[in-house]
Amino acid sequence: MTLEPDTLGPEDVRAVLALGVSRQAVEDAMHVAFLFNIFDRLADAMGWDVPAEGSDFWGASAKMLLSRGYR
């Protein structure tokens, strides 16, 4: 979907549906892929980076989420 969106068509969706995946699940997956594509392009354009694994960012973020949850 990201590199060659023009190569996808109805036959691709039919193949997934034939495996037993629901229409709603296919639609949800397409929306998620679309949003990840946008976020990735924004990150590249704005120079966002992921903090290093050894930094305290991940531990502090985990503690905050565990205490406050998503808001």
**Has residue 55 got a pLDDT over 80?**
yes
**C-beta separation of 1 from 33 below 8 A:** yes
pLDDT at 71: 76
Q: CA-CA distance, 20 to 18, in Å (whole number)?
A: 5
Q: What's the total number of domains in the chain? A: 1
Range of the domain at 42: 5-68
Q: 1-5, 36-40, 43-47: which range is least confident on average?
A: 1-5
Average pLDDT over residues 15-35: 96
Pick the closest to residue 1 from 42, 29, 39, 43 (CA basis). 29
17 neighbors 26 (Cβ within 8 angstroms): yes
Q: For residues 54 and 52, give the distance between their C-alpha atoms in angstroms, rounded to a whole number.
A: 5
